[in-house]
Amino acid sequence: MHKSSAFPIVVNAVTCFLLLSLADVQGNERPIVGILSQPCTGFRGCNESGSYIASSYVKFVEMAGARVIPIIFNAPHDEIMFRMRYVHMLLFPGGAVPLQPGTLFFETSKSLFEHVIDLNKRGFWFPLHGTCLGFELLHILVARSGGVLQTFNSTNCRSKLNFTESARHSRLFQNFSNDLFEAARKKKIAVEHHMYGVSPEAYKNFPSLQSFFRILSTSADLQGKIYVSSMEAIDFPISGTQFHPEKPVFEWKTGQEISHDPQAILMAQMLSNALITEAKKNSRPPLSKGPQLNSLLIYNYSPIYISDDSIPFEQVYVFHTSSTPHPRSLERIN
């Protein structure tokens, strides 16, 4: 019986595509991502002086081959900058923190954003990505106004992504297949959990947004109101998604409108790959290697399971303010 050669051809084509994609990555096979912690928001085990990172963000970057160092927002400035010297990319995660100028979280975020801009201007490729709250934060920092945000009814829902012409050639989406683009357009596989957002009109009202970012997709809230759902900077490796790419793979709370569709999971993997590909372009060596670096990694901390279904995370890492970069022992959250 004659056997079709279609399968080997497909495999070879995919292999060639992966090799060509990897050829574009410069230098760094051991990327480290800094994830910014944020103030505790009313769950046991995390007091007012503490901060946390949802473990889904850690797993999200790990699944594309990166390690994580927590950037503890309320640590002394010198410690924050010390940790930043070890990372190749920064992630502003989602959460529920008021984005008010003058607050420690906002001012720390602003300082880090300015540091990333400065590094890139000095010739260091240093990516920054914001998810949900982080996406909103990036817009406020570029617009220099909280007025860039509007209210939207997307607190717990799924959405479609309406891609712009820029998406296919963007760093975030350039490796999406036609099938994945089509799935994201037609099926509600993007996970939304926000009450604020940025309308496309804001890019006209705040010219700094239009000169800094290009819109990659928009989505509609439950009332049909349109908001920007992804963007990336024109001149810097900075990007953001209003939706949560990490949740389809790593969050399972009942009552949460999270798509676990295979294409939602594939989209998460592709976005993780895209972000870590950018991190790998940062070949700046860490300040030191060995024990000093190892003491900063997220592996020194234990994720804590949260059984309370009202908290939208399965696991979190909790941090207590310290003048040293060493972890603290934590109690299990029941």
Q: Which residues are catalytic?
A: 132, 244
Sign of CA dihedral 279, 283, 285, 291: positive
Alpha-carbon distance 272 to 277, whole Å? 8
Ramachandran class of 192: left when φ > 0, alpha when ψ lies in -120 to 50, beta otherwise: beta
> Nearest to residue 51, comparing CAs of 36, 35, 40, 67?
40
Estimate the crossing angle of helix 104-121 against helix 133-143, to 10 degrees: 70
Estimate the crossing angle of helix 104-121 against helix 77-84, to 10 degrees: 40
Question: Side by side, which strands form the sheet with 50-54?
Answer: 38-39, 50-54, 315-320, 304-305
> Nearest to residue 179, comparing CAs of 270, 309, 69?
270
**For 220, phi and psi rounded to 5 degrees?**
-115, 140
Both tokens assigned to 244: 């949560």
In Å, what is the CA distance from 66 to each residue of 61, 82, 90, 230, 306? 6, 19, 12, 22, 25
Alpha-carbon distance 175 to 181, whole Å? 10
| Residues 198/181/58/261 CA torsion (nearest 10 deg) | 110
Alpha-carbon distance 12 to 258, whole Å? 34
Ramachandran class of 81: left when φ > 0, alpha when ψ lies in -120 to 50, beta otherwise: alpha
Alpha-carbon distance 132 to 227, whole Å? 12
**What does the chain come to in residues?**
334
